[in-house]
Amino acid sequence: MRDVAIVSFAQAPLEQSPGQTETLMLLPTITEALAAVGMTRRDVGFTCSGSADYLTGGTFTFVQMLEAAGAWPPISESHVEMDGAWALYEAWVRLQHGDVDVALVFASGRASLGASLRETLTFQLDPYYLAPIGADYVSLAALQGQAVLARDARSEKDLADIVARRYQDAVGNPNAAVSGSTTADELLAAEYVVAPLRAHDVGPAVDGAAAVVLVAGDRAREVCDRPAWITGLDHRVDPHYPGVRDLASSPSTKIAGERAGVSNGGVEVAELAAVCTPEELVLAEALGLGDDVAINPSGGALVANPVMATGLVRIGEAFRQVHDHGKQRVLGHASSGPCLQQNLVCVLEGPG
């Protein structure tokens, strides 16, 4: 296997000019990610992106995004109708072939253009048994929350505590849509949306764009003073229908974590793509994260959910922990599907 490292991560600012196009959110983000390691688009050997046309309703919207990547002269590129974390996985696989050393990964989405994200995301569900009853992602996450609270003497206060911590963690994160000081009691006073979830238990969906640069081999050390080496990368899937699963646990995350080698040395930081609070509890347990692990120091997906980029951003934030904050072993996680159906775990290690 070739050693591949993340050498750069950039995110589009939360504040954009009114009516800003998705292409123009992405263009400077990609330029920034490449420029941080002294590269231009001409240095890229393979490009892979993640997005979902359903967010805007525009067929082949993602093709327009290629103009932000620069597709002339023609480039070698691929796309996944998934969170950009899966585009990163494909780019990592591509780099294993050995003929190119640099991959550009990006993700974007304008969730704000849907009249109801809850309704839109229902289209990813089983068309026979779930879509016809409009079982939206918040409702399904609430059922998972009920399952989680039914065991281990967990309470709604545990959920509120998570929110309070993440909002505090997010202070200083320019990409957080919400941040600041609050208490569990203040949060628990709010009305339910779907019990046990209150509005703050669900990360606010935002428009966003993110880019990551992967470099293989020694070239990574040439362009980056502290690359984050991908030492583990795995993706597993649970069954789709909630009724055939134990919603309080996540076997797919457990296996992905094992295969990614989380416990071969543990991790100092875990950026988990938990869009709803109960998910953080389920994921932390599945990955065997103890109290010594800092979870979502960026605030995580509870402070901003740039749909289709959320998982890539978790991996990017994990990279920042290695590159900017001197951590040695961290993980980034991404998820897709109802109640954490699919889970991707990426373990990053510093040079030492």
Partner 1 sequence: MTATWKLEFPYRRSVGPVIGAFLTGLRDRKVVGVRTTGGHVLVPPFEYDPDTGDAVGDMVDVGSSGVIVHAAWVVEPLRTHPLDRPFAWALVRLDGADTPLLHALDCGSADRAGPGTRVRIRWAAETTGHLSDIECFELET
Partner 2 sequence: MDPVQFMSHHTAVEYKIPEPSLLTIHFGEELAKGRIIGHKCPQCGKVYMPPRGYCPLCVVETTEANEVEVSNAGTITTFSVITPLQYQGQEETEDYVQATLLLDGADTTIMVMRMDGIAIADVRMGMRVRAVFPTAGGGAASNSQLIARGMGLGDAVDHWEPTGEPDLTREQIAEHIL
**Residues comprising the chain, all counted:** 352
Q: Is 185 exposed, middle or buried (0-12, 13-18, 19+ CB in 10 A)?
A: exposed
- Whether the bond between 351 and the residue before it is cis, its omega within 30 degrees of 0, is no
List 46's β-bridge partners, or say none.
Answer: 103
Binding partner selected for residue 142 from partner 1, partner 2, none, CB under the kind-specific 5 to 8 Å limit:
partner 1
Q: Does the footprint of partner 1 cover residue 73 (CB under 8 A)?
A: no
CA distance 198 to 270: 24
Task: Out of 15, 17, 218, 290, name the contact with partner 2 by CB under 8 A.
Answer: 17
CA distance 158 to 143: 16
First to last CA, the chain: 20
Task: Out of 18, 74, 172, 243, name the contact with partner 2 by CB under 8 A.
Answer: 18
| Tokens at 221, concatenated | 């050390």
Task: Name which of residues 216 to 255 contact partner 1 (CB under 8 A).
Answer: 239, 241-244, 247
Helix axis angle, 61-69 to 22-35, nearest 10°: 30
Task: Out of 120, 173, 175, 252, name the contact with partner 2 by CB under 8 A.
Answer: 120
Q: Does the footprint of partner 1 cover residue 81 (CB under 8 A)?
A: no
Residue closer to partner 2, measured from CB, 27 or 160: 27
Q: Which stretch binds partner 1 (CB under 8 A): 30-38, 92-100, 132-140, 252-260?
A: 132-140
Q: Does the footprint of partner 1 cover residue 331 (CB under 8 A)?
A: no
Helix axis angle, 277-286 to 156-169, nearest 10°: 90
Task: Name which of residues 142 to 201 contact partner 2 (CB under 8 A).
Answer: none
* Secondary structure (DSSP) of 154-177: --HHHHHHHHHHHHHHTTT-TT-S
Nearest CA to 243 out of 105, 112, 129, 115 is that of 129
Q: Please tell me what DSSP assigns to residue 44.
A: -
CA distance 93 to 233: 10
Which 3 state secondary structure label does DSSP give 343?
strand
Q: Does the footprint of partner 2 cover residue 56 (CB under 8 A)?
A: yes
Q: Does the footprint of partner 2 cover residue 128 (CB under 8 A)?
A: yes
Sequence-separated (6 or more) residues with CB below 8 Å from residue 277: 145, 159, 162, 163, 197, 201, 302
CA distance 26 to 84: 13
Task: Out of 146, 182, 249, 328, name the contact with partner 1 by CB under 8 A.
Answer: 146
Q: Which stretch binds partner 2 (CB under 8 A): 52-60, 156-164, 226-234, 242-250?
A: 52-60
Q: Does the footprint of partner 1 cover residue 143 (CB under 8 A)?
A: yes
Binding partner selected for residue 193 from partner 2, partner 1, none, CB under the kind-specific 5 to 8 Å limit:
partner 1
Sign of the dihedral defined by the CA atoms of residues 319, 325, 329, 332, in that order: negative
Helix axis angle, 277-286 to 251-259, nearest 10°: 50
User: Per-residue x/- marks for partner 1, 148-177, CB under 8 A?
Assistant: --x---------------------------
User: Per-residue x/- marks for partner 2, 207-246, CB under 8 A?
Assistant: ----------------------------------------
Minimum CB distance to partner 1, residue 175 (Å):
25
User: Per-residue x/- marks for partner 1, 271-310, CB under 8 A?
Assistant: ----------------------------------------
Task: Out of 127, 172, 290, 352, name the contact with partner 1 by CB under 8 A.
Answer: 127
Q: Does the footprint of partner 2 cover residue 76 (CB under 8 A)?
A: no
Residues in contact with partner 1 by CB under 8 A are 57, 115-116, 118-119, 122, 127-130, 132-136, 139, 142-143, 145-147, 150, 191-197, 239, 241-244, 247
Residues in contact with partner 2 by CB under 8 A are 17-21, 23-24, 27-28, 31, 41, 54, 56-57, 67-72, 110, 112-116, 119-120, 123, 127-128, 131-132
